[in-house]
Amino acid sequence: MTETDEDIQSPRRPERSPGAKFLLVLLTGFLLAIPLFASWLLIYDRQNQSEQAEQSIVTGWGGQQVFAGPKIVLPYKAKVQESVEQDGKTVTRTNVVTRELYVSPEVMSFDSDIQTEVKSRSIYEVVIYNTNVTGSASFKLPEDFDRSGIDRADIDFARAEIRFGLSDARGLSADNKLTVDGQSLVLQPGKGLGETGNTGFFAWLDATALAEGEMAVNFDVKFRGTESLTMVPDAGQTNWSVTSQWPHPSFTGGFLPDNEVSDAGFTAKYGISNLALGSSLTSTQAGQQVYPQASSRPYSSYDGGAGSPSSVTVNLIQPVDLYDQVSRATKYGFLFIGFTFVAFLLFDLIGGVRISSVQYILVGVALVLFFILLLAFAEIIGFALAYVVASVGIIGLITAYAASVLSSWRRASIIGGLLAALYGVIYILLSLEAYSLLIGSLLIFAALAGVMFVTRRLDWSRTLQRGPAT
């Protein structure tokens, strides 16, 4: 039997409708959310590794420092009643216990000169500093002290202490000085303040003069730290002046300073009263622990709780946090995938080029790979140059692949131009943080309007018939 031409010819194969193709492409895009989310997790992991590396760099140097004090601590006798069971009866006993009275200065003024340095190991960098805190404080029992319920006769002024708080005492340098009414005192380790987790240093003090008069305290303290310096105001009037040659400060906390920032450094001046703090100059309770007010790092492993609103922090931030920028770029991943897939889909539906789901997936994987390349290069050469290198590589890869898939370099050049424009717009969005939402919304609106116009006459439910490949 002789085969006819009709027998040899392959039958026409029905294709999915445009609507079905669109839903399939949409599903493919959603599936690519898995590797996109995995790339975000990789950024998170690299951020944690960076912070661990920073911690290893500054081990033994001193962490994010919190400075508090000085305060005079006075031991006093207090009567405490307790009820106990004795012979089946409740007996009330009165015991005499020793407690501590914390006295804050009426006025405290001090200056801090922060000398910074960037320390690095491999690809990681961290800002460290040395600071010299010099100041004075005047102490006096409040005029209404008798209303506190503590009898002055019960206070042992001769066994007083003057305490300073420093959150990481490892950073303390030598040659620290403390004088009270002109008399030098010997500083001792330990016995800090509650605001710094009871770490710091102190000196024994005969505070008899405080019973009826004033005491003048002068101090000169040198210590080292990393990235930030937090001060805890706790005086009737606290005046803090801080200067540094670091040109990128960030001021956080419960109060903002008068400040001047330039390329040569910054100066900041705080003036805080205890009326604004809502605290008394005397207290029988240790202060609540204060933590540094974090800067804008999105993945910071330091979590000290809700930081006290009565503290102020000067953060010595890096001008560009590459992990923050890469993370923000990753959030635009769906725009890259969506715009590119729409372009391929239009060539499929209108241009007559059949594109399989596997080809969509390969293109999507290439788009996700951009963020991995961006992260890898950014750690070595910086974000801006890494963005150019990664985008050029991915644009070239997808354009070359599109030339084969679309059987036309002219069509592939349209895909390449679209990607180049998209990468350029996204970079602008990353730079213009304040207007990123507006520009992004307008971009999506323009893309949607274009797709609606091009496909306005397309029958989304019609099943396509396409001849066999020769």
pLDDT tens, per residue, the chain with 470 residues: 444 444 444 455 556 667 777 788 788 878 888 888 888 888 888 888 777 777 777 777 888 999 998 999 999 998 877 777 777 777 777 788 888 999 999 999 999 999 998 887 767 778 899 999 999 999 999 888 877 788 888 999 999 999 999 999 989 988 899 999 999 999 999 888 999 989 999 999 999 999 888 999 999 999 999 989 999 998 999 999 999 999 999 998 889 899 999 989 999 999 999 888 888 888 888 888 888 765 544 333 343 334 455 789 999 987 667 888 888 888 888 888 888 888 888 777 776 677 788 888 888 899 899 999 999 998 888 888 999 999 999 999 999 998 888 888 888 888 888 889 888 888 888 877 666 677 777 877 887 787 777 777 766 666 555 444 43
Rounded Cα distance between 31 and 362, Å, is 12
Identify the CA nearest to 280 among candidates 151, 102, 68. 102
Rounded Cα distance between 399 and 379, Å, is 27
Residue with tokens 């040899």: 8
CA distances from 304 to 142, 185, 278, 291, 467 (A): 33, 33, 23, 6, 67
Identify the CA nearest to 19 among candidates 380, 455, 361. 455
- Identify whether the C-beta of residue 316 lies closer than 8 Å to the C-beta of residue 244: yes
Rounded Cα distance between 400 and 373, Å, is 18
Residue with tokens 């008798």: 146
Helix (H, G, I), strand (E, B) or coil at 88: coil
Rounded Cα distance between 115 and 423, Å, is 40
One-letter amino acid at 264 equals A
Position 299 scores a pLDDT of 36
Position 34 scores a pLDDT of 87
Residue with tokens 């507006």: 438
Helix (H, G, I), strand (E, B) or coil at 411: helix
- Identify whether the C-beta of residue 192 lies closer than 8 Å to the C-beta of residue 200: yes
Residues 6+ apart with CB under 8 A from 51: 299, 300, 301, 302
Residues 6+ apart with CB under 8 A from 149: none
Position 222 scores a pLDDT of 95
Tally DSSP H helices, then E strands, for the chain: 10, 19
Position 306 scores a pLDDT of 40
Rounded Cα distance between 297 and 295, Å, is 6
CA distances from 279 to 142, 146, 254, 275 (A): 13, 17, 14, 7
Identify the CA nearest to 166 among candidates 254, 232, 236. 232
pTM (whole model) above 0.85: no
Cα-flanking dihedrals φ and ψ of residue 21, to 5°? -60, -45
Identify the CA nearest to 136 among candidates 107, 172, 114, 170. 107
Position 307 scores a pLDDT of 42
Helix (H, G, I), strand (E, B) or coil at 383: helix
Position 460 scores a pLDDT of 61
- Identify whether the C-beta of residue 246 lies closer than 8 Å to the C-beta of residue 127: yes
Beta-bridge mates of residue 80: 95
For the record, the structure tokens of 178 come out as 């403390």
Helix (H, G, I), strand (E, B) or coil at 176: coil
Residues 6+ apart with CB under 8 A from 420: 391, 395
Q: What is the DSSP letter of 279?
A: -
Rounded Cα distance between 361 and 337, Å, is 10
Identify the CA nearest to 65 among candidates 187, 176, 172. 172
Helix (H, G, I), strand (E, B) or coil at 137: strand
Rounded Cα distance between 7 and 82, Å, is 107
Buried b (16+ CB within 10 A) or exposed e, 136-155: ebbbbbeeeeeeeebeeebb
